[in-house]
Structure 1
Amino acid sequence: MAGLAESGSNPDVDLLYDINGIAKDAPHWFDRGMEFVGEWGLLLAMVLLILWCWLSVRRRGGDEAASSVAALVWAPLAAGIAVLVNVPIRGFVERPRPFVDHEGLEVLIGGKTDYSFVSDHATLTMAMGVGLFVANRKFGLAGIAIGLLEGFARVYMGVHYPTDVIGGFALGTAVVLLLSPLAMALLTPVAQAVERSSRVGWLIRARGSAGGQGEVVAGTARAPESEERDLAA
């Protein structure tokens, strides 16, 4: 199945040349920047976005803090699972990188000798973006936008066809949504147990956040005033 996209009047190849053609006309410094952004930068941005969301959830607290953190943990786990699922898909399709079959492309990064379909980068970023959306819609929309930018960057760099990216988006989204009920059923009790721990409960809820169990003073939990009066009596 190596010939998913050959040449000629193929919209996939035409769009590849249109997007990659921007790289030919762009300044050298911009292409170097896109090389970093498309290979590492957007993945790093996604990880930082998940950490930012985690800090926000901890500070806000509330009864749903544990389930929100569990959903955040699921986002990178789902991305890892999706990449593993992609291993047999790549071996089955065996689609060469676009620069192998098509001349005149501006390839911004070398050393890509593996198969092209589907894009690991697109799979990773979209899985984390959709997983983030499950946990928090505001942060999730930003995550999905990062995933879309990653897909564009991979085609811009000349290392993937547009359909490689679309396949990655579909794979990452499917893994997150299809396995989410099972993942949440397993991860939420774990997060709730962590929340009750005096040592690592801060991973779920920041001290002094809404819904906390009393005031924290000098590293120990202080009972509410009503309980103190009962004890004094």
Structure 2
Amino acid sequence: MAGLAIDGSNPDVSLLYDINGLAGSAPDWFDRGAEFAGKYGIVTALVLVGLWCWWSVRRQRAAEDSVAAVAGLLWAPLAAGVALLVNIPIREFVGRERPYVDHPGLDVLVPLRTDFSFVSDHATMAMALATGIFVAHRGFGLAAIGLALVEGFSWVYMGAHYPTDVIGGLALGTAVVLLLAPLAMALLTPLVSAVCRSGRAGLLVRSRAARDADRAEAAEAPGTRPLGIPEQRPDDNNLAA
């Protein structure tokens, strides 16, 4: 793959020059903004989208939906970590140099690094987080996927990755989340369900308003206890009576 990168007729290289060439005509403040976004800003935005999604799904009408969504949100960062671990042997096996090693004329906006280029860690992590959020909530997930795509684009723009490095990262992050999701959800859902049934910790899964609605529903149907309602224990006065 490193040999292919040297060939200027390769579409991967041509697209690299086209995207990175935008940096040459952009103002300096835009380049600095792109660098900040690629390194920190977009990942931070993904975390904020995840937190917003968590705050929203806690108010879902059905407790089972809240449990599934929160379990999906827990899987998102775990999947990102797994994807990054999977990428370690991939990068060593492929051994593709950074684009600025073979193409010194690039406008590089980040400090030079000596690690390998394929697959992009940043694109992998961003897409894993985004896909995990998508598993939890389609609307928030689509917004997160959009951010992940911008994350990948920014690293090509900064001259630090080939487009195929980013495409590989997006594919790897998505694959890890979706392929391992059945096992992850099977393990995480009972844990989140147990938290949902507990007292104050249950507010991490169901909002106070949602739990009040669960209690009202339980009052209308005696003998049932919806998932979001913690088990009530008799107090000392009742025991004494």
Cα–Cα, structure 1 residues 226 and 88, in superposed 2: closer, same or farther, change >3 Å?
A: closer
Aligned equivalent of 1:107: 108
Alignment RMSD (CA, Å): 2.1
In the alignment, the residues of structure 1 paired with residue 127 and residue 212 of structure 2 have an alpha-carbon distance, to the nearest angstrom, of: 33
In the alignment, the residues of structure 1 paired with residue 59 and residue 138 of structure 2 have an alpha-carbon distance, to the nearest angstrom, of: 17
Cα–Cα, structure 1 residues 134 and 211, in superposed 2: closer, same or farther, change >3 Å?
A: farther
In the alignment, the residues of structure 2 paired with residue 120 and residue 138 of structure 1 have an alpha-carbon distance, to the nearest angstrom, of: 25
Cα–Cα, structure 1 residues 180 and 225, in superposed 2: closer, same or farther, change >3 Å?
A: closer
Q: Is 1:184 matched up with 2:193?
A: no
Aligned equivalent of 1:174: 175
Structure with more helix by fraction: 2
Q: Is the 8 A contact 1:125 1:147 kept in 2?
A: yes
Amino acid at match of 1:26: A
Q: Is 1:9 matched up with 2:9?
A: yes
In the alignment, the residues of structure 2 paired with residue 127 and residue 12 of structure 1 have an alpha-carbon distance, to the nearest angstrom, of: 23
Aligned equivalent of 1:219: none
Stretches (4+) displaced over 6 A: none
The runs of 5 or more residues in structure 2 that have no matched partner are: 223-233
In the alignment, the residues of structure 1 paired with residue 160 and residue 45 of structure 2 have an alpha-carbon distance, to the nearest angstrom, of: 21
Residue 213 (structure 1) shift = 4.3
Moved more, 152-161 or 206-215: 206-215
Amino acid at match of 1:67: A
Structure 1 residues 164-207: Cα deviation after superposition (integer angstroms, max 9, x where no partner): 00000110010011000000000000000000111311110111
Amino acid at match of 2:8: G
Q: Is the 8 A contact 1:62 1:211 kept in 2?
A: no
Q: Is 1:135 matched up with 2:140?
A: no
TM-score with structure 2 setting the length: 0.87
Aligned equivalent of 2:225: none
Aligned equivalent of 1:46: 46
Cα–Cα, structure 1 residues 195 and 32, in superposed 2: closer, same or farther, change >3 Å?
A: same
In the alignment, the residues of structure 1 paired with residue 74 and residue 128 of structure 2 have an alpha-carbon distance, to the nearest angstrom, of: 12
Aligned equivalent of 1:57: 57
Amino acid at match of 1:158: G
Q: Is the 8 A contact 1:61 1:211 kept in 2?
A: no
Number of equivalent positions: 222
Aligned equivalent of 1:163: 164
Q: Is the 8 A contact 1:4 1:95 kept in 2?
A: no
Residue 8 (structure 1) shift = 2.1
The runs of 5 or more residues in structure 1 that have no matched partner are: 216-222
Residue 10 (structure 1) shift = 0.6
Residue 62 (structure 1) shift = 1.9
Q: Is 1:145 matched up with 2:149?
A: no
In the alignment, the residues of structure 2 paired with residue 33 and residue 2 of structure 1 have an alpha-carbon distance, to the nearest angstrom, of: 30
Amino acid at match of 2:109: L
SS in 1 for 2:59: helix
Aligned-pair identity in percent equals 63
Q: Is the 8 A contact 1:86 1:120 kept in 2?
A: yes
Moved more, 6-15 or 186-195: 6-15
Residue 52 (structure 1) shift = 0.3
Q: Is the 8 A contact 1:15 1:162 kept in 2?
A: yes
Amino acid at match of 1:197: S
Amino acid at match of 1:207: R
SS in 2 for 1:134: helix
Cα–Cα, structure 1 residues 21 and 189, in superposed 2: closer, same or farther, change >3 Å?
A: same
In the alignment, the residues of structure 1 paired with residue 103 and residue 40 of structure 2 have an alpha-carbon distance, to the nearest angstrom, of: 25
Moved more, 103-112 or 180-189: 103-112
Q: Is the 8 A contact 1:61 1:206 kept in 2?
A: no
TM-score with structure 1 setting the length: 0.90
